[in-house]
Chain A
Amino acid sequence: MIDTKEKLNQTFLEDIYSIPDGEKLKACIQCGTCSASCPTSYLMDYTPRQIISAFRAGMIDQVLRSNTIWMCASCYYCTVRCPSGIKLTDIMYELKRLGIKYRIYPPKNPSPVMAKIFVDTINQFGRSAETVLLTLFFLKTKPFKILDFVPLGWKLFTKGRIATSNKSIKGKDDLVKIIEYIEKKGVA
């Protein structure tokens, strides 16, 4: 069991190091610039600095189950400020991908659901009409909450800023071929 867990940790570390400039994670000096810069730290179970520390300590499960990585809004402040040149936003993306791949993410967190719906929409249509995306998202996560969005949706509707269906691009088949090629290659 320990063996398996350690192997998994090793796989995760190698995964992270293999993304563009991922190796720089090794150079983290735990200064906390990322946490201080992060506009959503206040929403996180662990701060970005703690995530790096926990990850390097092999606490993969805690890392992936925390809400932290899904609270990253991709503002890139940490990335541009890190004195060690760590592209932490990209690391957060890789952690999201690992969580999705191994189905380890915080319970009841709506963000992974949103990401999946978004990707499905693109795979199916090639483009994404935001208002349709939102409707799907609420139906799947908190249907009763959709009522909260009715006033905004109505206002957008009266201003002609809404779409009620997704339209496919002409080259949808080509797009699917591109996506499937990489999926089949197993390096997605």
Chain B
Amino acid sequence: MRYSYYPGCSLEVTAKPYDASARAVCQALDIELEEVDDWNCCGATSYISIRELISFAISARNLALAEKKKNDLVTVCPACYTVLNKANIYINEKEDIKKTVDEALAVANLKYDGTIKVRHLLDVIVNDVGLQKIQPKIKKRLEGLKIAPYYGCQISRPHGTFDDPEFPMTMDNLFSSLGAEVVNFPLKAKCCGGILITTEPEESLKLIKDLLSCAQDNKAELIVTACPLCEINLEGYQKKVNKKFKTVFSIPAIYFTQLLGVALGLSKEKLLIGKELVSAEKVLDRFYGGKR
């Protein structure tokens, strides 16, 4: 199983543990990832706020580079996933967009024929590899671990290619099949505020507070995310939330690839567990010989 891997900018900086654990998990599951050579930023929600066609064209550069290798493009960042998917859909469906993007790519000696798909790694793991093939590779069952899988927005909205836009279940099913106790977490697809946490921190912290409350009220020990921005918002701003709302949250948030890696018996070093801002080691140590 071979894919072109598009890490995205966050994975090089704040979400390094996501990148490391994604690569380690793929290796353990025989998913071959070949990084798209010299990929550029997808533009996230910002480029399209200023220029629409250019945002499609810079995404098309990534798609064209990936298409050279003839494998589908896989990313772990839901924002990259939505942006690249949107560009891919419009380039394939709208003649006028395709024409302009083609011309622009030609200036850089590139060409995109629209033959590849944009996938999220969670989709690849659950639907291409499949739970049946994952089960025999599991070294540690996640029994007794209470988790709140948090999907955020763009992994299933607007395109909803592999999960429900309103009530996604992929991570719930994956981790409960590995023994974890998935707590009731009705806010699992609600927005964390995204970039507003940076631009409007005072006003938007409430969004994070609501998510943390929901996870805590339902007795989750750990939040599991599939988005680099959600992850940093949830764990990086707990102190600010606590100060503003006089709360005492201390709930670790890690990437789904890290938890899957734990179950696959991968080392903490390989998964970069220990690099959280709210330590997850206390919660995860039981799987590394520690007491509960």
Contact = CB atoms under 8 A, between A and B. Distances in A.
Categorize the interface residue count of chain B: 35 or more
Interface string B12-28: 11111100000000000
Given A75-B157, A129-B12, A159-B276, 16 more contacts: A20-B90, A39-B193, A40-B193, A73-B194, A87-B158, A93-B49, A114-B199, A128-B9, A160-B16, A162-B13, A163-B12, A163-B13, A171-B108, A174-B61, A179-B54, A183-B54
Nearest to A76: B157
Given A71-B200, A73-B195, A156-B277, A178 B41 contact: no
Contact of B103 (A115, A174, A181): A181
Contacts of A155: 236, 277
B214 interface: no
B185 interface: no
A115 B49 contact: yes
A97 B50 contact: yes
Interface of B: 9-10, 12-17, 38-41, 43-54, 57-58, 61, 82, 90, 93-94, 97, 100, 103-105, 107-110, 153-154, 157-158, 160, 165-166, 190-191, 193-196, 198-201, 203-204, 206-207, 236-237, 239-240, 275-277
Interface residues of A, number: 63
The binding surface of chain A is classed by DSSP as helix
Interface of A: 19-20, 39-40, 42-43, 71, 73-77, 79-80, 87, 89, 93-94, 96-97, 100, 110-112, 114-116, 118-119, 121-122, 126-131, 134, 137, 148, 151-152, 155-156, 159-163, 169-171, 174-175, 177-179, 181-183, 185, 187-188
